[in-house]
Structures are given as structure tokens and as C-alpha cells.
Amino acid sequence: MEKVDFLRKMYLKGTRVELHYMDDPQAPPSGTKGEVMFVDDIGQIHVKWENGSSLALNVKLDSFSRI
């Protein structure tokens, strides 16, 4: 739970992120920006992407940055 608590402090609701890479056929294109909605109990960061998608980021598999 320490990891999830850390992520919740780092990625508060409204934090802006930019996607670099997500291995998912439904993934937004690289460079898409979005706004964090929440971090769930398993540590996935749920994002409302500018393209209308709402896929969650997996911090172990996806590449992204805070902006």
C-alpha cells in the first residue's frame, strides 16, 4: 500500500500527464496529454485523455511523464 499512497500523492486529481508509450490497441497516440482523475487501489493512474479516451496508466508497463 505504500506504493499506492506514494502514487496518490504524486498524481493528485487534476495533475497533467503526457503519454509516451502504452502497449494497448486502444491507447491514445504518443504525445497525447491528459488529466489524472484518480489512482485506484492497485496503483493504476486513471486519466481523462484529451482525445476523449479514459484508459488507465500502468506505472510498470506504460511510459509517461508529469507536465
CB atoms within 10 A of CB 58: 15
By residue count, the chain amounts to 67
Confidence at residue 1, expressed as pLDDT on a 0 to 100 scale: 74
Domain containing 51 equals 2-66
pTM here?
A: 0.93
Confidence at residue 61, expressed as pLDDT on a 0 to 100 scale: 95
User: pLDDT tens digits, the chain, 67 residues: what are they?
Assistant: 789 999 999 999 999 999 999 989 999 999 999 999 999 999 999 999 999 999 999 999 999 999 9
d(CA 52, CA 65): 19
Confidence at residue 14, expressed as pLDDT on a 0 to 100 scale: 98
What is the total count of domains within the chain? 1
What is the CATH number for 22?
A: 2.30.30.40
Per residue, what are the HEC states of the chain? Answer: CHHHHHHHHHCCCCCEEEEEECCCCCCCCCCCEEEEEEECCCCCEEEEECCCCCCEECCCCCEEEEC
